[in-house]
Amino acid sequence: MSKLIGNAIFGQSGGPTSVINASAAGVITEALKSDCINKVYGAAHGIRGMLEEKFYDMSMEDPKELELLKTTPSSALGSVRYKLADPDKDPTDFNRLLEVFKKYNIRYFFYNGGNDSMDTCNKVSKFMQKVGYECRVIGVPKTIDNDLYGTDHCPGYGSAAKYIATATMEVYHDARVYDTPMVCVLEVMGRNAGWLTAATALASYKGAGPDLIYLPEIDFDMDKFVADCKRVYEKNNGKLIVAVSEGIHDKNGKYISEYGSDLAKEKDSFGHAQLGGAAQVLASVLKKELNCKARAIEFSLLQRCAAHCASATDVEEAFTAGQKAVQFAVEGVTDRMVAYERTTDENGNYKCNYVLVNLSEVANTEKKVPREWITEDGTGLKKEFIDYALPLIQGDSRPPFENGLPRFARLKKVLATK
């Protein structure tokens, strides 16, 4: 394929993570080095910034600050939840993007996000092909939910899993300090896929985890739940820790959080229910059924951007995924997402290869925890999951510290001009 000379734009979308900025650092630093890319733009708040012609000139940033992005949590350029319409029904946004791309000679489009972001990436790619505008489009994966199709795991998951397992172990020790009964219900993120909640099994692997784990892959039965809890509570002399995904639902598809809250009735721009509150509902049930103190603990936003407890493996893989996206694009690849392929080195140790998958296959397709990795009674994880997750949480990554506090990247964010 012929050499394509032009400018590049990079955007971040969806929920932030501990390592999404590591991918940003990979894309930006690699693009700045390329002799095919003249200018590198960073979009303010993802696709919205592109539509509004608001993006930053990344060449104006201090290289040291770009390096610090590797250990800076959240989305440094700003994120967004904006659903592009079907271009065949409403091409307004796409025509506007084409106008902006032509104005700034943008020939490389890199978009960093999860399921919905890959949907955006796919739509942009297909539209540019349809109108005959040469622009190489590459998706850079990101999601702590670990539910992207076509990749062994997702950037952000290893760090979130490490934080969840660590926090669960700490709760375990805290909850067992008194000689009185104590029940804790931990609520972990996860709408339709239970990968994050499954990470609490890593704490159990170390002897300090939940007694029972419930994932959205299996319909939730309240009567069975109460019976499970009573059995363990009595066996453990009044001690019980339960971990649940925020997205657990009954056989009719009703979220357990809806049993006691109106939150799940609210929808975002992609039509997803706002979840949260399942632990509180279940803690209230257990308080009544067991006649004891029951505490609900929501890990909430804390699990997404815990850079102080990040996985070095996750950080390095996320950074490399960003670099590979640029390298693939410059080589002529388009309409693809960078994905992880698990393999082993010559010594049999875990190794990650970087491969490509079609955007159309990834967009809006969810990968769930295999049923065979979940115990037959649906209350725990098997060794297959532990073997899968352990390599992803290896190594410690922390930002540098100043005066006892983390030093995160401070970008100038100089607006690009034409």
Whether residue 124 contacts residue 319, with contact meaning beta carbons closer than 8 Å, is answered with no
Spatial distance between the Cα atoms of 78 and 12, rounded to a whole number of angstroms:
7
Once rounded to an integer, what is the mean pLDDT over residues 30-42? 98
Q: Which of 74, 89, 76, 83 is nearest to 28 (CA)?
A: 76
Per-residue pLDDT band for 1 (boundaries 50, 70, 90) equals low
Once rounded to an integer, what is the mean pLDDT over residues 372-380? 98
93 counts as catalytic = no
Contacts of 400 (CB under 8 A, 6+ apart): 68, 71, 406, 407
Per-residue pLDDT band for 276 (boundaries 50, 70, 90) equals low
Once rounded to an integer, what is the mean pLDDT over residues 196-213? 98
Average pLDDT over all residues of the chain: 94
Burial of 99-137, coded b for 16+ CB within 10 Å and e otherwise, reads ebbeebebbbbbbbbbbbbbbbbbbbbbbbeeeeeebbb
Spatial distance between the Cα atoms of 304 and 301, rounded to a whole number of angstroms:
6
Q: Which of 224-238, 250-264, 329-343, 378-392 has the lowest mean pLDDT?
A: 250-264
Q: Which of 54-68, 81-95, 159-173, 312-326 has the lowest mean pLDDT?
A: 81-95
In the predicted structure, residue 358 carries a pLDDT above the cut 80: yes
Per-residue pLDDT band for 261 (boundaries 50, 70, 90) equals low
Same fold, 6-144+307-364+395-406 and 157-303: yes
What is the tens place of the pLDDT at every residue in 109-151? 999 999 889 999 999 999 999 999 999 999 999 999 999 999 9
Q: What percent of the chain clears pLDDT 70, i.e. is strictly above it?
A: 96
Show the beta-strand stretches assigned E in 55-192.
55-57, 106-113, 136-141, 182-188
Q: Which of 183, 411, 381, 407 is nearest to 294 (CA)?
A: 183
According to CATH, the topology of domain 6-144+307-364+395-406 is Rossmann fold (3.40.50)
- Position 272 scores a pLDDT of 46
What are the structural domain ranges in the chain?
Answer: 6-144+307-364+395-406, 157-303
Catalytic residue among 93, 116, 119, 145: 145
Q: In what order do the strands lie in the sheet with 55-57?
A: 55-57, 37-43, 6-12, 106-113, 136-141, 336-344, 350-358
Out of 3.50.50.60, 3.30.565.10, 3.40.50.11540, 3.40.50.460, the CATH code matching 157-303 is 3.40.50.460
- Position 264 scores a pLDDT of 42
Q: Which of 241-255, 270-284, 390-404 has the lowest mean pLDDT?
A: 270-284
